[in-house]
């Protein structure tokens, strides 16, 4: 087999938010992400994947973005022989689909993504699991000040602030420390549900990307129904970020962006005062930047 040839496939992190929980599409009882070889009939990977996903979920993909190409040599320790010398390449994609209506005929299974990363949900309480993780990490790092410092930073220990964007880096440190996968040292407890091969890492990559993206690009709306209340929008962002947001400020931000408009209708009250319904305004192309970082430009 000539060098330069490889076995290549697509793998997708498909996200939906239902009932304020972020969900991800899985196979094999939740232990694998959907994947498959790509067909050559479509012009671009993007369009081929889009068609495939729609056939699988029965729903159009609102947003699709390439995530990362995974190609390290020891990716899949399960069958190293099968590919007789060729490298194994997976091109990962992140896709957002609108709320799926209760799992359809049931083949694709959607699972709460916090099942795989329980320590990432800081909406209602500080996850207790974090204390156990911190203890194990501290032991792992006890002879290495750099590791300690990094653990503090990544996991918000010793008064450091929690940064919701560091999903992948946290997972990688846990993996290194043997807390993520039973493969190496199987005696001790492992945190979060494992997945096949490196699928959990790929999922972490997807979550990381999405958490970063919602801050400066209005992709959340790809997860919302046609019309929604401001609180529903907020709950969706909270579900993704794993944080509770400050309601008045959230509203103000959304308002300033000019991304939504009233539909004129009201929500059919689910317990409190009815709320105005809004719809997304594909605001003059994707011109908006939900708070783009700035350089100190000079005029003249």
Partner DNA sequence: CTTCTTGTACTCGGTTTGAGTATATATCCA
Partner DNA sequence: TGGATATATACTCAAACCGAGTACAAGAAG
Contact residues: a second copy, CB under 8 A: 3-9, 37-40, 42-45, 66, 68-69, 71-74, 85-87, 89, 91, 146, 149-150, 153, 164-165, 215-216, 237, 241, 243-247, 249-250, 252-253, 284-285, 287, 290-298
Max Cα separation, the chain?
68
Closest CB to a second copy among residues 189, 293:
293
CA distances from 272 to 124, 205, 231, 235, 275 (A): 21, 38, 12, 16, 9
Report what 158 binds from a second copy, DNA, none; CB cut-off 5-8 Å by kind: none
Name beta bridge partners: 64.
95
Report what 275 binds from a second copy, DNA, none; CB cut-off 5-8 Å by kind: DNA
Report what 149 binds from a second copy, DNA, none; CB cut-off 5-8 Å by kind: a second copy
Alpha carbon dihedral 35, 40, 43, 49, in 10-degree steps, equals: -10
Place of tokens 């992140």: 94
CA 196 to chain centre: 17
How many residues appear in the chain? 300
CB 198 within 8 A of CB 75: yes
Within 82-166, residue ranges assigned H as helices are 129-140, 145-155
Closest CB to a second copy among residues 100, 169:
169
Residue 231 CB, nearest approach to a second copy (Å): 13
Residue 105 CB, nearest approach to a second copy (Å): 27
CB 257 within 8 A of CB 286: no
Residue 240 CB, nearest approach to a second copy (Å): 10
Closest CB to a second copy among residues 130, 237:
237
Residue 130 CB, nearest approach to DNA (Å): 21
Q: Which has the closest alpha carbon to 233: 88, 20, 38?
A: 20
Report what 263 binds from a second copy, DNA, none; CB cut-off 5-8 Å by kind: none
Interface ranges with DNA (CB under 7 A): 229-231, 246-249, 251-253, 256, 267, 269-276, 291, 294, 296-300
């Amino acid at each position: 087999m000539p060098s330069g040839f490889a076995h290549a496939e697509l793998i997708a992190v498909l996200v939906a938010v239902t009932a304020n929980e972020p969900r991800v599409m899985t196979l094999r009882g939740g232990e694998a992400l959907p994947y498959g070889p790509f067909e050559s009939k479509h012009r671009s990977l993007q369009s081929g994947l889009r068609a495939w996903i729609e056939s699988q979920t029965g729903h159009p993909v609102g947003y699709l973005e390439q995530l990362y190409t995974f190609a390290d040599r020891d990716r899949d320790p399960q069958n190293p022989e099968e590919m007789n010398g060729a490298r194994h390449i997976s091109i990962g994609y992140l896709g957002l689909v609108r709320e799926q209506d209760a799992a359809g005929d049931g083949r694709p299974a959607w699972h709460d993504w916090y099942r795989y990363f329980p320590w990432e949900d800081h909406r209602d309480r500080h996850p207790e699991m974090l204390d156990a993780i911190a203890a194990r990490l501290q032991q792992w790092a006890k002879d290495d000040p750099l590791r300690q410092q990094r653990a503090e930073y990544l996991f918000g220990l010793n008064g450091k602030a929690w940064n919701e964007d560091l999903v992948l880096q946290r997972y990688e440190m846990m993996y290194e420390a043997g807390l993520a996968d039973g493969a190496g040292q199987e005696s001790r407890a492992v945190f979060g549900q494992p997945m096949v091969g490196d699928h959990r890492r790929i999922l972490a990559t997807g979550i990381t990307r999405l958490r970063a993206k919602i801050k400066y690009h209005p992709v959340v709306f790809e997860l919302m129904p046609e019309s929604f209340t401001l609180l529903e929008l907020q709950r969706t962002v909270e579900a993704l970020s794993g944080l509770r947001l400050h309601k008045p400020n959230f509203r103000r931000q959304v308002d300033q962006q000019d991304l939504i408009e009233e539909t004129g209708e009201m929500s059919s009250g689910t317990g409190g005062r009815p709320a105005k319904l809004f719809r997304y305004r594909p605001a003059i192309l994707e011109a908006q930047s939900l708070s783009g970082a700035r350089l100190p430009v000079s005029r003249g």
